[in-house]
A and B are shown apart, each in its own frame.
Chain A
Amino acid sequence: MFSPAVLGQVFVDGIGLSAIYILIALGFTLLFGIMRVVNFAHGAFAMLGGYALYYLYGNLGLPYLVAAPAAALIVATVALVLERIVYRFFYQRMFQSMIGLLGLDMAIMYTAVIAWNAEERSVPPSTDALLHLGDLVFPAQKLIIAGIAAVALLLFYLFTHYSRYGLAMRAAAQDVDIAEAQGVNSTALYRLAFFIAIFMAALAGGFYAQTYALSPFVGEPQLMIAFIVVILGGMGSIPGVALGGLLLGFANSFLGTFYGSATSIFVSFGAVILLLIFRPWGLLGAKEA
């Protein structure tokens, strides 16, 4: 059961899952860290990303490396409208944001049901090729997903650490008022952070739709993933997301392969509840007053 070949497979699966999980959760933690918004509609945007990829890649047949970013770009641009008419009322209002954005989640999800009906669709894989690596056989698609995710994460890291806007973003995450006093335009910054967060969620949603299936309801499991990863790592902590995503990705891959998905849910949810009880600020998060 635990032969090297199977373990290798589990490892590769773990990397694929972790890449998707980290992308979803990164946007979630960004919105929380900077705007203090608990984005319950995060999964809905990921779901929209799945549909955008379905049309651009599945129907129009654009090349995959163009379609994936373009799909996420479209969703993020459309989402900017929602930022103006919904999100800005919830900035820095954590409790109201949870319930209000739950409403947004419902509204988007059921609008999707009206627009596309509830039946499941599948997004074609980016390539059918199989890679052989010694005893291991795995679809090249996983590698492409992990690769694009890695590029997105690298760009995000470079942006936040080596650009003026990234610096402003990190400053605002620490203290918005003081950042504003130093001349940071928080309105524009919020919009930028929102755009980046939704872009990553939509990108991940496309990958998720390719890995599993696509329906208006796939947002819910993705929202759960974002929650768990972010709680594991610590809300608002960016390195925490990387750690949480890797932990959950590998745990799901390992437990799902050997003990079934129900066990995997029990263990991951149970672990998160235990963590919340003993260390609510997460593994790498900062303790709040």
Chain B
Amino acid sequence: MIKSSTLESAPPPAFATQPASPATVVRPARRWLAHPVTVAVVLVLLVALPLVAHDKFVLSVAVTTFITAIAAASLHLIVRTGHVSLGHAAFMGIGAYVSAIATTDFGLAFPVAVCLAFLAPAALALIVGPILLRLTGKYFVLVTLLFGEIVRTVFVNWTDVTGGSNGISGVPAPSAYFSNPVPFYYLALGFAVVIIGIIGRLLASEVGRMIDSLREGEALARCSGVPVLSTKVVIFMLGCGIVGIAGALQAHFVHYIDPTSFALEQSLNLVVINVIGGMYTLIGPIVGTLFVVLLPEFLRGYVELQHVVFGIVLILVMAFFSGGIADAGVLFKRLGLGRGGQQ
């Protein structure tokens, strides 16, 4: 299959046989955002960043952005199957705790700990997935919300292992070399690029088509031979495993974890990122991450105001254009064309 870009999930040009009339062609912003040249330029800039900015603060904001982008992209994978999980931070927390405990209590090496941080949430997802993923729409949202709260209560109350509300401090850096900001920057960048690349490739593949088909029309997908439940469970496992890696990276970056970092608020943040950025393209969560992680840096000192702004943006996006920022081009076109394209 010939693909122009691994980040592009739209059908290849070969299938676009129907010539659309020029008046109705709306070019989404994500087309140029996902263009290979854009991706390459962004990558080069990111690789070059530490050469220009030695400031510790800039680098740590960048690392936070990468970690959040991994988490948001993993939630995107699940959202694409048509399920919005409000308990995603719980899986992130499991990854973080597993990795932290493995390195502090058992003295395991960082690579092993990261693998465990991937496997543990994925295993839990394999157990709960087949049950939860039978639920649709609102019921899935509500159950994952409650599930997230249960996991958080476990973190708080299982004091022997998780340290309760005090959390675990003194989580070591991946190695002595990576305790410096610049090497850790490249480590996080590497993880982000590889993981988002894998997700992009997956969504652009046959499996990606299956995912889109079962979201758009589950019954039809089933009739066409898509194994609906098992596909959903595998994607759910993958998403939860990946967010576990993000959690592990965060634990080794901040050197400290506690239950509040993985509570409902973080789950909401990940949903906000996906919704604001755009839910039906992988560019969405990446653009959303930039918005959600970088905006607070400009609104420093106005933390509450920033939440109010997010809330209002969330209302506007859901009420008027569910495509999110990544589809802003469509919105502007629609405003230009008048009310013709209202959904």
Contact = CB atoms under 8 A, between A and B. Distances in A.
Interface of A: 38, 86, 89-90, 94-111, 113-114, 220, 224, 227-228, 231, 235, 262, 265-266, 269-270, 272-273, 276-277, 280
Nearest to A90: B319
Interface string B241-281: 00000000000000000000000100010011001000000
B305 A110 contact: yes
A58 to B, nearest CB: 23
Interface stretch (B94-102, B114-122, B132-140, B219-227): B132-140
B312 A107 contact: yes
Contact of A227 (B132, B146, B320): B146
B160 to A, nearest CB: 14
Contacts of B142: 227, 231, 276
A137 to B, nearest CB: 31
Interface stretch (B2-10, B48-56, B147-155, B288-296): B147-155
A270 B153 CA distance: 12
23 contacts: A86-B319, A90-B319, A94-B137, A95-B138, A96-B319, A100-B317, A103-B313, A106-B311, A107-B308, A107-B311, A110-B311, A111-B304, A113-B304, A224-B149, A227-B146, A262-B156, A262-B157, A265-B153, A266-B153, A269-B146, A273-B143, A277-B135, A280-B139
Contacts of B310: 103, 106
Given A272-B146, A273-B147, A107 B315 contact: yes
Contact of A100 (B147, B153, B268, B319): B319
Nearest to B310: A106
B308 A99 contact: no
Nearest to A104: B315
Interface of B: 84, 131-132, 134-135, 137-139, 141-143, 145-147, 149-150, 153, 156-157, 264, 268, 271-272, 275, 304-305, 307-308, 310-315, 317-320, 322
B280 to A, nearest CB: 13
Label chain A's interface by main secondary structure.
Answer: helix
A95 B318 CA distance: 9
Contacts of A105: 311
A98 B149 contact: no
Q: Which of B134, B156, B315 has the most CB of A within 10 A?
A: B315
A288 to B, nearest CB: 10
Q: Which of A100, A224, A266 has the most CB of B within 10 A?
A: A100
B318 A99 contact: yes
A103 B311 contact: yes
B292 to A, nearest CB: 12
A197 B177 CA distance: 59
Given A227-B142, A276-B139, A277-B131, A104 B150 contact: no
A51 B104 CA distance: 45
